[in-house]
Amino acid sequence: MAGALAAIADPAVRGAFREWLLRTADDELVIGHRHSEWTGFGPDIESDVAMSSIAQEEIGHARVFYEQIGPDDGSTPDQLAFGRSPREYRHAALLEHENGGWEFSIVRLALYEPFEAGRLRLLGASGHEPVAGLARTLAREERYHGLFAETWLARLTKAAVEDRGRVQRALDEAWPDALGLLETTPADDLLRAAGVLGETPAAARAAWEDAVRPILTGCGLAIPRAAAREGGRRGAHGPEFEQMLMQMTEVRRSDPEAQW
Amino acid sequence: MPASSMPVPPMPEAQPAEDDPERLARFTDRIAAGDQIDAGEWMPENYRFEALRLINMHANSEIMGALPEREWIPRAPTLARKMALTAKVQDEVGHGMLLYRVAETLGRSRDEMVTELIEGRGRFHNVFHYPAETWADVAIIQVFVDGAAMQTQGALRSCSYAPYSRVLKRICYEEDFHIQLGLDVWRALAEGTPQQRAMLQDALRRWWTPIIHFFGMPDKVSPHTEKMLAWRLKVKSNEELRQQFLRRFVPIILEYGLDVPDTGLRWIEAEQRYVYTEPDWEELKRVGRNGGPKSAERLALRQKFQRQHAWVREAISHGAAA
Amino acid sequence: MAAGVRPAPGDTPRSEAGDRWQRALDAPRDVWAVFLQARRRDPHIYVGDVHAPDAEMALVLAKEGYTRRDPCVNLWVVRADQIHATTAGAEEMFEPATDKSYRFGGSYRQQQKVYRSAWRLSHREEDQ
C-alpha cells in the first residue's frame, strides 16, 4: 500500500501532512491505551464492556493512520506505535494522563470527542485520498464515543451537588490540557497554505468550544477560564507517558528479534 | 427507590426445607424426560439453591477471570494483540453480565452477588487465583484455561435450567473465538525465538496443575452428586470432563514439540483414557477458600475500585429513581 | 408450603390446575430487555438484558453489550418488568389439538400446483 503521503509531491507539505496524521494516530493510540486500562475495572459491568469497545476502536483508528504514514519510510504500524522515543510522539498531554476516577475519564472523553470529530471532518475535506475517505468512515464510530461520554456526564452531574462538584474539579483539571489538543505548529500553516487544511486555528478553537460548551453547561458545569498548557504537539510529554511507553514496550523489548 | 435497595428474596439457607413430595416427584420426572425449567416456574428450593450456587460461581469466575489477563493489555506487544486481548477480556466481563442476570432469575440481586464476591465471601474458579506472570501466560490461559472451561460449559448447554442453557450457548460461541485467538499467540511463541519457546513452556508448567485441578476431584458417589445429575445441573462427571480436556488439548502440546508438564501423563490405549499424576487436592481446597497466591491481592484490587466507584454508582441509581 | 420457604417468582398460591396463565415478568426495576434489528427488513429480536438507570443509558450500553459481533441497524429497550408473558402452565394451550391444515392452503398436491404456477413465479420478486 502506497499510503497517503506518496501522492504529495512537495516535501514540505508531505512532511506537514505526515505530522498531522501522526498527531491523529498518536492521540488515538494514547487515549485508546488509557481506555483499555478500564477493562475489568469499570463502575458497572455494562459500562466496562462499552468503554472497552471504545478503546479497541481507538486503537484500531490509530492503526489506520499509522498504515497511511508508514509507507513513507517503510515503517509498519507496530514500529510507529511502539518504536519511537517519547519526544517523537505528537499526541496531546491530556490523553496521556492516568485514568484517575471515572469522572476524569468521562470528562476527558467528552472534551476529546468534539475535537476528534472536527479533525476527522477536516481530514475528510483535505482532498487527499485515501485518508479523506478513511476519515469519513471512522467518524461513524466516533459518534458513539461522544454519545457514551455525554450520556455518562449528564448522569454524573445531575444527582447531587457534591457529585457535580467532583466533575467540575475534573473539568478544571482537564481544561488547560484540553486546550492543548488545539496546539498548532508550523505544519498547520503549511497545510493551510497548501489548501489541505481548511480551517484557521482561531476557527478550530471556536468550533471546538461551540461543540463543548452546550455539553458542559447543559450539565450545570462552569466553563473553566485557565490558559492552554501546550507542548504535546511538539513532543513534550511527562513522566506518565514515559511510564506508559515503557509498559507498552516491555514485552517487545524483552526479545527485540521476536515476532509476536 | 434506588435499585440496590429493592426488596429481593433472601438466599435460602444451606439446608432448605423439604418441598411437597408430589410436586417434587413431578418436577424430577419432567427433568428425567429431558424437559427444561424456565425462569419463573415452580422449582424445589434445593434445586434453586444448587442452580444458583453453580451459576453465581460461574458469574463470579468471569469477573475475576478478567484480572489475570487484563494485566497484559497495556503490555500487549502489537496493535493486533492489544485489540484482540482487550476484546477477549471484554467478552469475559460480558459473560459475567449475562450470567449474573441468569442468577438473578433465581432470586438474588446482582449487587448482592457482586458485593459478596468482592468482600471475599463468594467463590470463583481456582484458575483465577493464580498469577499471569508473562505474556506467554496469556496464550496458556486462552488455550488451556478457556479450553478447560469450554468442556464444562459445553456439557452444561444441555442442563435443565433453560436461562443458563441459553446463555451458555452464546458463551461457548464466543469462547471458541478466544481459543482461536489463543492458538494464534501460542503458535507465534511456539514457533518463535528460543526465548519465546522457553517462556511458553514455563507458563505451561506453572499453569498445568491449576488446570488439572479445575475440573474438581473425581466425583465421589454421593447423594449430592446423584441429585445434581438427576436434576441435570451436572451433565458429565468431573473425571469425564478432565479426560475430554486431555484428549483435546494434550495433542496441541505435542504437536508443537513442547513438554507436557506432568511426566506421569500417559495414554492407556486399552482403556481409552489418560492416567496422570494425582495432583495435590489440598491446594485446590485452599484456593477454593480464597487462599490462592493472588486471591487476596485481586479481591483487594476489586475492593479498591468498588470504593472509588461508590459515589458513581450512587449517582446513577439516584438518577434512576428520579 | 413449608415454613421459612418463600414463594418462587411468578408462583401463586393456587394449585397447578388453577395457575395463572399470564403475568408480568419478574425482573428488577433496573433491568431492560434488549431487542435487536439486524437489517431493516428484519423484525426486532430479543437478545438479552442490560442493567441501566434509564432508557437512554440502556440503549447506549446495549449497543456494545449486544452488537459487537452481530449486525444491527436498530435497537429497542423496554423495562423487563413491563413485559407481560404467558406462564409455563399455559404452554399446552399453544399446542394444536386438531388438524389445522385449513390454514395452510389445501392439500399437498394443490399447494405444489399453486407453487409452480405462473402466478407464483411472477411474484417471486416480492420475496426479495
The mean pLDDT of B110-126, rounded to a whole number, is 96
Q: What is the pLDDT of residue C88?
A: 84
Cα B171 from Cα B97, distance rounded (Å): 11
- Decide if C20 is inside a domain: no
DSSP 3-state of C35: strand
Which H or E element spans position A115? helix A102-124
**Which candidate, C65, C7, C6, places its Cα nearest to that of C31?**
C65
- In this structure, what C-alpha cell is assigned to residue C53? 438507570
Q: Which ranges of chain C does DSSP label H, i.e. alpha helix?
A: 55-66, 108-116, 118-122
Q: What is the pLDDT of residue C18?
A: 53
Phi (first) and psi of residue B275, to 5 degrees: -105, 150
Interface of B with A (CB under 8 A): 63, 66-67, 70, 72-79, 81-83, 86-87, 89-90, 93-94, 96-97, 100, 135, 185, 188, 192-193, 195-196, 305, 308-309, 311-316, 318-319, 322
**From the list A37, A46, A258, which residue is nearest B74 (CB)?**
A37
Q: Which chains touch C (3 or more CB pairs under 8 A)?
A: A, B
Q: What is the pLDDT of residue B5?
A: 37
- Decide if A5 is inside a domain: no
How does residue B155 score in pLDDT terms, banded at 50, 70 and 90? very high
A203: left (phi over 0), alpha (psi -120 to 50) or beta: alpha
Q: Does position B175 have pLDDT exceeding 50, yes or no?
A: yes
Q: Which ranges of chain B does DSSP label H, i.e. alpha helix?
A: 21-32, 45-70, 79-104, 110-118, 135-140, 146-156, 162-190, 194-214, 223-230, 238-255, 281-288, 295-321
- Decide if C6 is inside a domain: no
Q: What is the pLDDT of residue C2?
A: 41
- Decide if A186 is inside a domain: no
Distance (Å) of CA B227 to CA B15, B103, B151, B233: 14, 20, 21, 9
The mean pLDDT of B75-90, rounded to a whole number, is 98
Number of domains into which chain B is organized: 1
- Which structural domain, as residue segments, surrounds residue A22? 11-181+192-223+231-254
- Decide if A56 is inside a domain: yes
- Which structural domain, as residue segments, surrounds residue B118? 36-321
What's the predicted TM-score (pTM) here? 0.91
Q: Does position B117 have pLDDT exceeding 50, yes or no?
A: yes
Which H or E element spans position A81? helix A77-82
Contact indicator for B310, B2 with CB cutoff of 8 Å:
no
Q: Does position A141 have pLDDT exceeding 50, yes or no?
A: yes
The mean pLDDT of B90-105, rounded to a whole number, is 98
Cα A41 from Cα C56, distance rounded (Å): 22
CATH number of the domain where residue A108 is located:
1.20.1260.10
Distance (Å) of CA C45 to CA A18, A222, C78: 46, 43, 13
Q: How far is A88 from chain B (nearest CA, A)?
A: 18
The mean pLDDT of B227-236, rounded to a whole number, is 95
- Decide if B3 is inside a domain: no
CATH number of the domain where residue C61 is located:
3.10.20.520
Give Rg (Cα) of chain B: 21
- Decide if A260 is inside a domain: no
Helix, strand, coil shares, percent, chain A, to 5: 75, 0, 25
User: For chain B, how far is it from start to end, CA to CA, in angstroms?
Assistant: 8
Q: Which chains touch A (3 or more CB pairs under 8 A)?
A: B, C
DSSP 3-state of B146: helix
**From the list B6, B17, B317, which residue is nearest C3 (CB)?**
B17
- Decide if C120 is inside a domain: yes
Select the residue from A38, A45, A46 to test the C interface by mutation, using most C Cβ atoms within 10 A. Answer: A46
Each residue's pLDDT tens digit, A160-200: 888 999 999 999 999 999 999 999 999 999 999 999 999 99
Q: Does position B10 have pLDDT exceeding 50, yes or no?
A: no
Each residue's pLDDT tens digit, B278-300: 999 999 999 999 999 999 999 99
Q: How far is B307 from chain C (nearest CA, A)?
A: 20
CATH number of the domain where residue B210 is located:
1.20.1260.10
Q: What is the pLDDT of residue A238?
A: 96
Q: Which residues of chain A neighbour C60 with C-beta distances below 8 Å?
A: 50, 147-148, 151
| Residue B237 CB neighbour total at 10 angstroms | 16
Q: What is the pLDDT of residue C118?
A: 65
Q: Does position B16 have pLDDT exceeding 80, yes or no?
A: no
Contact indicator for B188, A259 with CB cutoff of 8 Å:
yes
- Mean pLDDT, chain A, rounded, equals 96
**From the list B86, B192, B314, which residue is nearest A39 (CB)?**
B86
**Hey, is the C-beta of C57 within 8 angstroms of any chain A C-beta?**
yes
Pairwise CB contact (< 8 Å): B17 & C4: yes
Longest dimension (CA), chain C: 71
For A126-135, B19-28, B243-252, which range has the lowest pLDDT when averaged over its residues?
Answer: B19-28
- Decide if B43 is inside a domain: yes
User: For chain A, how far is it from start to end, CA to CA, in angstroms?
Assistant: 22
Q: What is the pLDDT of residue B14?
A: 47
Contact indicator for A28, A76 with CB cutoff of 8 Å:
no
Q: Which of the residues in chain C have pLDDT under 50?
A: 1-6, 12-17
- Decide if A76 is inside a domain: yes
- Decide if C118 is inside a domain: yes
Q: Does position A65 have pLDDT exceeding 50, yes or no?
A: yes
Residue A204 carries which side chain, given as an amino acid letter?
A: A
Each residue's pLDDT tens digit, B266-279: 999 999 999 999 99
Q: What is the pLDDT of residue B12?
A: 43
Q: What is the pLDDT of residue C101?
A: 80
- In this structure, what C-alpha cell is assigned to residue A122? 477536516
**Which candidate, C31, C25, C27, places its Cα nearest to that of C65?**
C31
- Decide if C13 is inside a domain: no
Contact indicator for B178, B88 with CB cutoff of 8 Å:
yes
Each residue's pLDDT tens digit, A24-55: 999 999 999 999 999 999 999 999 999 999 99
Cα A221 from Cα A164, distance rounded (Å): 7
**Hey, is the C-beta of A82 within 8 angstroms of any chain B C-beta?**
yes
Q: What percentage of residues in chain B have a pLDDT greater than 70?
A: 93
The mean pLDDT of B225-230, rounded to a whole number, is 92
Cα A28 from Cα A92, distance rounded (Å): 10
**Which candidate, A122, A16, A17, A124, places its Cα nearest to that of A68?**
A17
- Decide if B2 is inside a domain: no
Dihedral sign for Cα B120, B124, B126, B127, please: negative
- Decide if C8 is inside a domain: no
Cα A99 from Cα A105, distance rounded (Å): 6
Distance (Å) of CA A194 to CA A4, A25, A120: 15, 22, 18
Number of domains into which chain A is organized: 1
**Which candidate, A57, A202, A31, A42, places its Cα nearest to that of A142?**
A57
- Decide if A24 is inside a domain: yes
| Chains A, B: CB pairs < 8 Å | 123
**Hey, is the C-beta of A169 within 8 angstroms of any chain B C-beta?**
no
- Decide if A4 is inside a domain: no
Contact indicator for B275, B268 with CB cutoff of 8 Å:
yes
Q: Who has greater pLDDT, A241 or C91?
A: A241
Q: What is the pLDDT of residue C125?
A: 60
- Rounded to the nearest 10°, the torsion over CA A242, A248, A254, A259 is -140
Number of domains into which chain C is organized: 1
Q: How far is C57 from chain A (nearest CA, A)?
A: 7
Q: What is the pLDDT of residue B223?
A: 86
Pairwise CB contact (< 8 Å): A37 & B87: no
Contact indicator for C38, C45 with CB cutoff of 8 Å:
yes
- Decide if C47 is inside a domain: yes
Residue A3's contacts (CB-CB under 8 Å, 6 or more residues apart) are: A67, A68, A69, A70, A71, A72
- Which structural domain, as residue segments, surrounds residue C119? 29-84+101-127
- Decide if B190 is inside a domain: yes
- In this structure, what C-alpha cell is assigned to residue A24? 491523529
- Asked whether the ipTM of the predicted complex exceeds the cut of 0.90, the reply is yes
**Which candidate, A194, A191, A223, A215, places its Cα nearest to that of A204?**
A191
**From the list B17, B97, B320, which residue is nearest C53 (CB)?**
B320
Contact indicator for B140, B208 with CB cutoff of 8 Å:
no
Cα B123 from Cα A35, distance rounded (Å): 29
Contact indicator for A173, A164 with CB cutoff of 8 Å:
no
C-alpha of A248 from chain center: 17
Q: How far is A176 from chain B (nearest CA, A)?
A: 25
Pairwise CB contact (< 8 Å): C8 & B48: yes
- Decide if C93 is inside a domain: no
Q: Which residues of chain B neighbour A60 with C-beta distances below 8 Å?
A: 83
**Which candidate, A172, A177, A171, places its Cα nearest to that of A236?**
A177
DSSP secondary structure letters along B82-117: HHHHHHHHHHHHHHHHHHHHHHHTTT--HHHHHHHH
